[in-house]
């Protein structure tokens, strides 16, 4: 029982929220395979075969599950690095000298991947709803806004998870020392 709190201490709040999203994504993939075929005219997402849609849910869940368990790490840069900093309308260019610490956070990649499928679904249903409105109900899908709002909630959950802080970064040396024999 002591390993569970240690795991959550390692992945932090952001990783725990990502694991919750992974759980939801897995079950969305399962429900995609088990759903009955329903006519949804104009919905691009519904034109993709059910197996491929389920695979998209599962692949993004797998990437997020792997990246949420990876802690951020800091590495000293070997070369100069240009960095843009914007304050209001003023953009300044900074040149960081070699040896500055840069933090890499793999969970950011996982959060971006988690956004791909529900964002595509929201855009797909939004497009079908827009077509339904413009064509006065002749084309498109009448229930598109309901579905778009549900999947928009998933986008909101991922956006909220991205605001959680990552666990502290571990320091990784930039270059291993040369061994002379």
What does pTM read for this prediction?
0.74
Query: Is residue 98 included in any domain, yes or no?
Result: no
Helix (H, G, I), strand (E, B) or coil at 164: coil
Position 14 scores a pLDDT of: 84
Q: What is the mean pLDDT of residues 93-113?
A: 74
Tell me how far apart the alpha carbons of residues 121 and 63 are, in angstroms, rounded to a whole number.
Answer: 19
Query: Is residue 99 included in any domain, yes or no?
Result: no
Q: What is the mean pLDDT of residues 108-117?
A: 90
Task: Please say if the pLDDT value at position 2 is more than 70.
Answer: no
Position 41 scores a pLDDT of: 85
Position 108 scores a pLDDT of: 82
Query: Is residue 97 included in any domain, yes or no?
Result: no
Task: Please say if the pLDDT value at position 176 is more than 60.
Answer: no
Four-residue CA torsion sign, 51, 146, 110, 19:
negative
Query: Is residue 63 included in any domain, yes or no?
Result: yes
Query: Is residue 124 included in any domain, yes or no?
Result: yes
Question: 158 near 115, Cβ under 8 Å?
Answer: yes
* % of the chain surpassing 90 pLDDT: 34
Range of the domain at 119: 3-73+106-172
Query: Is residue 64 included in any domain, yes or no?
Result: yes
Segment 10-69, tens digit of pLDDT = 777 888 888 899 999 999 999 999 988 877 888 889 889 999 999 999 999 999 998 888
Number of domains, the chain: 1
Query: Is residue 68 included in any domain, yes or no?
Result: yes
Query: Is residue 47 included in any domain, yes or no?
Result: yes
């Amino acid at each position: 029982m002591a390993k569970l709190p240690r795991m959550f201490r390692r992945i932090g709040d952001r990783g725990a929220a990502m694991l919750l999203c992974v759980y939801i994504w897995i079950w969305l993939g399962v429900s995609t395979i088990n759903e009955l075929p329903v006519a949804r005219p104009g919905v691009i997402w519904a034109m993709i075969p059910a197996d491929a849609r389920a695979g998209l849910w599962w692949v993004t869940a797998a990437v997020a599950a792997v990246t949420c368990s990876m802690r951020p790490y800091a590495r000293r840069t070997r070369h100069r690095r240009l960095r843009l900093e914007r304050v209001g309308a003023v953009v300044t260019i900074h040149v960081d000298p070699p040896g500055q610490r840069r933090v890499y956070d793999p969970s950011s990649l996982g959060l971006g991947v988690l956004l791909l499928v529900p964002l595509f679904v929201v855009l797909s249903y939004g497009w079908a709803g827009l077509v339904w409105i413009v064509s006065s109900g002749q084309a498109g899908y009448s229930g598109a806004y309901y579905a778009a709002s549900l999947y928009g909630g998933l986008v909101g959950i991922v956006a909220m998870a991205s605001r959680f802080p990552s666990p502290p970064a571990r320091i990784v040396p930039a270059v291993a020392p040369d061994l002379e024999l």
